[in-house]
Amino acid sequence: MREDMTERGHIMEKVHMDREQYPELLRKISSPPETLYCIGELSCLSERCVAVVGSRKATPYGRNVAFRLGKRLAESGVTVVSGMAEGIDAEAHRGALEAGGRTIAVLGCGPDICYPKTNRELKDRIEREGLIISQFRPGTEPRPYHFPLRNRIISGISEAVVVVEAGMSSGSLITAESAAEQGRDVYAVPGNINSLSSAGTNRLIKDGALPLVTVDDILWDMKIGSKAEETGSQSLGEDEMELYGLLRKHGEMTIDEICDMLLEPAEKVNVLVTLMEMKGIVFTGLGRVFISV
């Protein structure tokens, strides 16, 4: 056992399989890694973990669900595990950090290396407030064949895996597969059947994954009482309620579609959307309006 300083001043620790901190769940999978290289709060490993994964190229819907899921799980005391990739992974970590909860990032490279580079800030934050782990020695560059190995660890340390958004050829499907092999619960977030970004997750549901219909589903199944109530449609005006209801029904809509449904001119609808956006009830992106609570 040797302690090491990383370039950025964080302490790196090696956790060998026979140490107490080595996660119990991971020890039981077939051929677990002998050593985990860790930076951050080792106690994260002893908490109940749930993995939230998905594709790098995510839609606003996917990002939003990942963020909410990460936040919700962390609020309820669950450690959020993901792969620190762009898109869904990063959003899940951010959600957990936003709630002030715990999160573990499992890397496909040495724990001292930031991949992708754009997540520098996120990695720094996880090092301070969560935990970075990797089975690869410090200094190991990311390689394509590392990622399936990493995915085994993500599912290995988690009780359940949620795939938020995945195309037909997404790496998250590999995570789901290894999770199933390891006997973990696999949840998939259902998506629009026209959306190719949800083709993989919808297929998972068809193949027997549990559909995640509300964010709290998973907490129920883990028998964790939700500590925070879902903030819902409090203090909304009549027209706000109407728009909220529409969005609940349709999921996502363009301003034009809302105009058509409410039979209101664009100027009215834009005011309404801004009003609700500032309240944090909806958000806009790619020309569409989404529900955010």
Partner 1 sequence: MNSKVNTGALRGIDGYLVTVEADVSRGLPASNIVGLGGAAVKESIERIKAAVENSEFQYPLKRVVLNLIPADVRKEGSHYDLPMAVAVLMAAEQVRPADGMRDSALFGELTLAGEVTGIRGALPLVLCAVERGAKNIIVPEDNMGELDLIKGSNIFPVKTLRQAAEIIEGKEGAVAGQGGRKNQGGKEGTEGNDIEEPEDFKDIKGHENIKRAMVISAAGGHGILMVGTPGSGKTMLARRMPTIMPPMSYDEKIQVTKLYSVAGLLAEGKSIVEERPFRAPHHSITVPALVGGGRVPAPGEISLAHCGVLFLDEFTEFDKKVLDSIREPLEEGMIAVARKAGRVVFPSRVVLIAAANPCKCGYLGDPVRKCTCTQGEIASYAGRFSGPILDRIDMHIRVGSVKYEEIGSRGGTSSEMMKSAVMRARAVQERRYTGSRLYFNSQLSGKLLEEHCALDGKGERFMKDVYEKTPLSLRGYHRMLKVARTIADIEGEEGIRVEHLMEAFQYRMLKEYERKR
Per CB under 8 A, 17 contacts partner 1: no
Per CB under 8 A, 56 contacts partner 1: yes
113 contacts 88 by C-beta, under 8 angstroms: no
3-class secondary-structure state, position 16:
strand
Per CB under 8 A, 236 contacts partner 1: no
Q: Which of 160, 218, 273, 291 binds partner 1 (CB under 8 A)?
A: 273
Per CB under 8 A, 129 contacts partner 1: no
Per CB under 8 A, 46 contacts partner 1: no
**104/83 Cα distance (integer angstroms):** 8
**61/81 Cα distance (integer angstroms):** 20
> Least distance in Å: CB of 160 to partner 1?
27
**What is the pairing mode between strands 185-188 and 79-82?**
unpaired
DSSP 57: S
* Secondary structure in 3-state letters for 229-290: CCCCCCCCCHHHHHHHHHHHHHCEEEHHHHHHHHCCCHHHHHHHHHHHHHCCCEEEECCEEE
**95/282 Cα distance (integer angstroms):** 17
> Least distance in Å: CB of 98 to partner 1?
9
**223/159 Cα distance (integer angstroms):** 12
Per CB under 8 A, 125 contacts partner 1: no
Per CB under 8 A, 267 contacts partner 1: yes
Q: Which two tokens stand for residue 98?
A: 């936003």
Per CB under 8 A, 198 contacts partner 1: no
Per CB under 8 A, 86 contacts partner 1: yes
Angle (CA) 74 80 84, round 5° = 130
**Nearer CB in complex with partner 1: 221/264:** 264
> Least distance in Å: CB of 201 to partner 1?
15
Per CB under 8 A, 120 contacts partner 1: no
> Least distance in Å: CB of 227 to partner 1?
25
Per CB under 8 A, 278 contacts partner 1: yes
Which DSSP string do the residues of 101-149 spell out, in sequence order?
A: --EEEE-SS-TTS-SSGGGHHHHHHHHHHSEEEESSPTTPPP-TTHHHH
Query: Among residue numbers 176 through 195, which ones bind partner 1 (CB under 8 A)?
Result: 192, 194-195
**Nearer CB in complex with partner 1: 32/200:** 200
**Nearer CB in complex with partner 1: 118/226:** 118
Per CB under 8 A, 25 contacts partner 1: no
Per CB under 8 A, 232 contacts partner 1: no
3-class secondary-structure state, position 43:
helix
Q: Which of 149, 180, 255, 262 binds partner 1 (CB under 8 A)?
A: 255
> Least distance in Å: CB of 21 to partner 1?
32
Per CB under 8 A, 265 contacts partner 1: yes
- The pattern of x and - marking residues 150 through 169 that bind partner 1 according to CB under 8 A reads -----------------x--
90 contacts 126 by C-beta, under 8 angstroms: no
Q: Distances in Å between the alpha carbon of 291 and those of 66, 246, 267, 280, 283?
A: 13, 10, 20, 9, 6
Residues engaged in binding partner 1 (CB under 8 A): 56-57, 59-60, 86-87, 94, 118, 167, 192, 194-197, 254-256, 259-260, 265-267, 269-271, 273-275, 277-278, 283-288
